[in-house]
Amino acid sequence: MDLFDDVPAPSPNMLPPAAGPLPDIVAPGLDCLFVGFNPGLRSGALGHHYAGRGNQFWRLLFEAGLTPRLYRPEEDVTLPAIGLGSTNLVARATASAAELSRAELRGGVPRLARIVAFVRPRVLAYTGKGVYLAATGLPDAPWGVQERGLFDGVADVVVPSPSGLARLPFEEKLRWFRDVQAEIDRRRGTG
């Protein structure tokens, strides 16, 4: 039973607009849709996902085997060609996710449900435990593949925030980003 069975699957022209500085990077049938809290100020100003100077997202994707080479933030629009996408729970840019209210974060879930209904990704990768907890309303969750996905037929994987502000060492973050690739492979039947 999907939590959003009552949300109609949108046609391509019904995909909800981002209503913020960053477009959603989506296409039907993605292997993985990355879900963040919201854009940082630099990403919002530049109009590209994970564009902060200290953000490790693009390096993590490459080193985890999710991209064939190291991409730059301004190449985010090309991600669907390799089966990846990106969106956020909240559209407005802030210096820190701590500036977002719990209600604002939970308010992004119905929109995420519509995007998932349109995209039907194999995997949703939440870039930060707080993102996943805000989306699900759960009090806690482990890193990695979750026992049950928020949406039927879609695996949830919780990875550490790629932000340079997140205190985990790069290698620890990379471990969990590799879980995303492993789950994609498992769901494709190639892993």
Of residues 62, 60, 56, 37, the one with CA closest to residue 165: 56
Q: Cα–Cα distance between 60 and 185 in angstroms, integer? A: 17
- Listing DSSP states for 169-190 in one string gives -HHHHHHHHHHHHHHHHHHHT-
Considering 38, 48, 55, 88, which one is annotated as catalytic? 38
3-state secondary structure of 125: strand
What is the phi/psi pair of residue 25, to 5°?
-105, 95
**Rounded alpha-carbon distances, angstroms, from residue 157 to 75, 160, 184:** 23, 10, 10
Is 88 annotated in the active site? no
Considering 48, 49, 55, 88, which one is annotated as catalytic? 49
Is 38 annotated in the active site? yes
What is the set of active-site residues?
A: 38, 49
